[in-house]
Amino acid sequence: MEILNELLVPNNTKIIQIVVDGLGGLEKNGKTELETAKTPNLDSLASSASLGLTTPIDTGITPGSGPAHMALFGYDPFEFEIGRGVLEALGIDYPLKRGDVAVRGNFATARDGLIIDRRAGRLASSENQRICKLLSETINEIEDVKIRIMPGKGHRFVVIFEGDGLSHEITESDPQKNGKPPVVVQPLASDAGKTARIVNRFLLQALEVIKTEKQANYLLLRGFASLPDLAQFSERYSLAAAAIATYPMYRGLARLVGMNVLETGSSWDDELATITNNKSKFDYFFVHFKETDAAGEDGDFERKVSLIEEFDKLIPQILDFNFDVLAITGDHSTPAILSGHSWHPNPFLLYAPGTTRTEGETGFNERRCARGVLGHMNSLEVMPLLLAHARRLKKFGA
Amino acid sequence: MEILNELLVPNNTKIIQIVVDGLGGLEKNGKTELETAKTPNLDSLASSASLGLTTPIDTGITPGSGPAHMALFGYDPFEFEIGRGVLEALGIDYPLKRGDVAVRGNFATARDGLIIDRRAGRLASSENQRICKLLSETINEIEDVKIRIMPGKGHRFVVIFEGDGLSHEITESDPQKNGKPPVVVQPLASDAGKTARIVNRFLLQALEVIKTEKQANYLLLRGFASLPDLAQFSERYSLAAAAIATYPMYRGLARLVGMNVLETGSSWDDELATITNNKSKFDYFFVHFKETDAAGEDGDFERKVSLIEEFDKLIPQILDFNFDVLAITGDHSTPAILSGHSWHPNPFLLYAPGTTRTEGETGFNERRCARGVLGHMNSLEVMPLLLAHARRLKKFGA
C-alpha cells in the first residue's frame, strides 16, 4: 500500500474508528452475542451504513491483540511484528524509547541449579512488587546501560535495558520446561555481544539478590524486543491522530504508530467525554472499548451480550459527534463459547453519509455482515477505506 | 503461509475433506446440477454448517486436476507445478521416486522423416500394449539408466528414466504439428547433458524397434518431469493423513504430499467402509469421489444430477463418523453444459459443530454458497481453515 501515501490529499474531514474489542462471536442457542443482544441503534444505523467482515491476519489465524490492532491501523502484522517484551512494556504504560531492549521476566523456583517451578508457586503480586523493589534498589546500571525492573501480575515482571548499542537479537534465558538448568544468553547477531554480556551479568547479580527467597529464588527472561521502526500515522496517512483507551497496552500500540494518546477516565462515558473535549484538535480518533473482549475471554456470554447492549446505547451520542466517517468493528473475535480470541472475521460497519452504498436493511451482526455490501476484507484494507470515504485520497492515474 | 507451521499445536481432533470431483456446475433450464438434484441431506446439513465458494487457482483460470488438488491440499500450484510426465506416471499408479524422470509419450505415424499423424491413426489400446511390450523387451537400460515403458490409453504411453544425475530440464521431442520432422532433444540446464544424450539414444533405439509398424512407426516425447520437493503433510500440518480414492491419479497426488494411500474398492460404499476401518489411525482423511467429474466431462447433465443425489444419500453415514471437522467441496467445477473443467468457483461446505458461524438456512448449491458466511476464498485457504476449526493452531502474537 505504498501507493496510498502518494495519493494523499489534504482535507478537513474527520474520522472515528471505534474498536469494540473481541466484538465478533459464535452462536449459543443459535445466536451469536451480537444477534442475542438488543441493539436497536446499531441495527438502525446499519441500514444507512455499509457492512462487511474483516479478517485480521489471514484465514484461520487467531491473532493476539498486538497484530490485530496493527492490521487495523494499516500496518502489515507480518512485516511489523511487535515482540513480547515490547507489548509487556506497553502494557504497564512504560514510555519505551527506540533503542531500548525490553524483555518479559518470570520469577521461578530453582533447586540444585534446576528449575522446579517456572511460575514460582504462582507468586502473589504483593511478593512480586516487594522483590522487584529489592532488585531495583540493588541493580541500577551495568556498564553504561540503565536497568529498570517493573512488576507485572503474579510471577511476571518486565526488564528494560536502556543504553547505546543494544540489540534484542539474543537468545532467551528460559529452559521452557521444569527440571532443566537455566540458560545463559547468547548473541544471535554480530552487534549483540554487548547486550548478551550485560544481560548475563544482570542475571548473575539478580540471582545473588533473590537467592534466599523461598518461592522466587530464580528468574527467567524471554521475548527480548525493541520498538520496531514504524512510519508514524502523521506521515503515513497525513492524519493528526488521537487514541482514547483505558487499557495500557492499547494506548501503547497507538503510541507506537504515532497517535497522541489522550488522558481519559476508566468508563466508556469518560472515553466519549474525551472525544467531546478533543474533537477539534485531531483528524482521526481511535477509540477502544475493552470490556467485551474480557467478557468473551471469561466465557461469559450473557455479560458480553449486556456490554454490547450498553455499547448500543452510546450510538446516538457517537452520531451526534458528526464525524464524516465512522467505523465500528472489532480487532478480532472473542466468542464467549470459546473463552478466547478466535480466527473468525470481524463484523465491520462503515457510516459515511453520502459516500457509501448502504445496506437499506436493518441489523448488525456477523451473518448480516457476511452478506454486506463491503464483502469480506482483510483488516489492512480498513485504513484505505476510511481515507477514501474521508475524501483524503486522490485519483490514481489519469 | 509459513507462519502456519509455527502455529501448529497438537490436538486429537479429526478432519475429513471430501472432494466430489467437478461438483460445481452451470445452469440448464435455470438450475445447476446441484440445484436440480434432490439433496435433502446436504440441504439440511447446510443450515448448521458454514458455506462459501473457493477459487482453485485464480479468477478465470480453469485448472487441471493436479493443480486443483494441490491447492486444496494447501500447496501453491504456481510454486509446486506437477509436470505432465509425473501426472501420467501417477495416473498409472507407478511408484515414481525422487530423481526419476518421467515423460509422456505419443505413438505417431511418420513418412519420409515427417510426422503425418501425431496420434498414429488413433491407435487401439491393444496395439499400444503390444508395442510397449516389444519396446520393453528390447530396451531395458542405456548406460546406467533403467528405462520403463508403460502403455496408457490409445496412442499414449509413459517412459520412466531411473538413474543417477538425471534432469527433467531438456527440450521435448515433439514438433507439435503434422508435416514437420521430429525433434532431437537438447539440454536446457548445465547438468542435463546426460539425460538429453540418453533420451536421444532411447529415441533412436525405439525407432529401430517400431520402424516396420504400419501406424505407430514413430514416437514423440513431451512433458519431461520429476517429482517436486514437497514438504510432506505430516511436517507441514502435523497431521497423520490418509487418502481414499479409486482413481490412480488422485492416489498419486495424495502420495506426493505424503498421505498414506489406503487400499479401497471401486465403489463409494467401499470408500466409506475404508474410513470405518481406518478412522482411529489418522487425523485427516482426503476422500475422493470421481464420477461426478466424469459425467460433467461427458456433458451428461442428468447423470451428474443423479450422482449428486447418490452422494447426498451417503451424508447420514458420513455424519455418523463424527469427525470434528467435515469439509465437502469440489476440486474445480465441471459444468455438464461445458463438457469440461471450468474456472467457476467450487461450492464449499464446512461443518464443525461449536466452532462455526452457521447458515441457519437450508440449501447447498452454487448460489447459496456465494452468499455464505465464509464468502469467497481461494482453495489455498481451505487447509488453514480446517486446521483452525480442528483447534490445531495457536494464537499469532500476543
ipTM of the complex: 0.88
Chain A partners of B51 at a C-beta cutoff of 8 Å? Answer: none
Contact (CB<8Å) A62/B394: yes
Distance CA A194, CA A167 (A): 8
Segment B223-246 mean pLDDT: 94
> Among residues of chain B, what percentage have pLDDT more than 90?
86
Chain A nearest-CA residue for B376? A376
Indicate where chain B has its CATH 3.40.720.10 domain(s): 2-81+230-389
Indicate where chain A has its CATH 3.40.720.10 domain(s): 2-80+230-389
Q: pLDDT at position B152, please?
A: 85
| Span B91-129, pLDDT tens digits | 888 889 989 999 999 999 999 889 999 889 889 989 999
Q: Any idea which fold B2-81+230-389 has?
A: Alkaline Phosphatase, subunit A (3.40.720)
| Span B23-52, pLDDT tens digits | 999 999 999 999 999 999 999 999 999 999
- Taking the domain A2-80+230-389, which CATH number applies? 3.40.720.10
| Span B295-335, pLDDT tens digits | 999 999 999 999 999 999 999 999 999 999 999 999 999 99
User: What sign results for the dihedral spanned by CA atoms A168, A171, A174, A177?
Assistant: positive
Please give the single-letter amino acid code of residue A323: F
DSSP strand pairing (A284-289 vs A15-20): parallel
Q: Using 50, 70 and 90 to split pLDDT, how confident is the model at A1?
A: low
Chain A partners of B381 at a C-beta cutoff of 8 Å? Answer: 58-60
Distance CA A365, CA A36 (A): 9
Segment B160-189 mean pLDDT: 90
Lowest mean pLDDT among A133-147, A176-190, A329-343, B279-293: A176-190
Count CB atoms within 10 A of the CB of residue A309: 16
Q: pLDDT at position A183, please?
A: 82
**Predicted structure pTM score:** 0.90
How far separated are the first and last CA of chain B, in Å rounded?
19
Q: Using 50, 70 and 90 to split pLDDT, how confident is the model at A42?
A: very high
Contact (CB<8Å) A60/B393: yes
Closest-CA distance, B7 to chain A, in angstroms, reads: 9
Q: pLDDT at position B2, please?
A: 79
The answer to whether residues B364 and B385 touch, using CB atoms and an 8 Å cutoff, is: no
Distance CA A139, CA A349 (A): 51
> Among residues of chain B, what percentage have pLDDT more than 70?
100
| Span A63-119, pLDDT tens digits | 999 999 999 999 999 998 888 889 889 888 888 998 999 999 999 999 988 999 988
Distance CA A317, CA B17 (A): 49
Reduced to 3 states, what is the DSSP secondary structure of residue A7? helix
The answer to whether residues B164 and B144 touch, using CB atoms and an 8 Å cutoff, is: yes
Q: pLDDT at position B59, please?
A: 97
Three-state secondary structure of B262-327: CCCCCCHHHHHHHHHHHHHHCCEEEEEECHHHHHHHCCCHHHHHHHHHHHHHHHHHHHHCCCCEEE
Residue whose C-alpha cell reads 489406503 in the numeric block: B262
Dihedrals phi, psi of A152, to nearest 5 degrees:
-110, -145
Q: List the Cα angle A17/A262/A258 in 5-degree steps.
A: 70
User: What sign results for the dihedral spanned by CA atoms B173, B174, B175, B178?
Assistant: positive
Instruction: Tell whether the model's pLDDT for residue B371 goes beyond 90.
Output: yes
Contact (CB<8Å) B357/A59: no
Segment B366-389 mean pLDDT: 98
Chain A partners of B394 at a C-beta cutoff of 8 Å? Answer: 62
Segment A36-40 mean pLDDT: 98
Beta bridge partner(s), residue B108:
B218
Length of chain A: 398
Q: Which of B8, B355, B385, B396 to mutate to test the interface with A (most CBs of A within 10 A)?
A: B396
DSSP strand pairing (A375-378 vs A50-55): parallel
Chain A partners of B1 at a C-beta cutoff of 8 Å? Answer: 58
Chain B nearest-CA residue for A60? B385
Nearest to A295 by CA among A22, A44, A35: A22
Segment A264-285 mean pLDDT: 97
| Span A163-183, pLDDT tens digits | 999 999 999 888 878 888 878
Please give the single-letter amino acid code of residue B361: E
* Rg, chain B, Cα only: 23
Q: Which three cell numbers stand for residue A77?
A: 502484522
B2 burial type by CB count under 10 A (0-12 exposed, 13-18 middle, 19+ buried): exposed
Residues contacting B53, CB < 8 A, separation 6+: B345, B346, B347, B348, B366, B369, B370, B372, B375, B376, B377
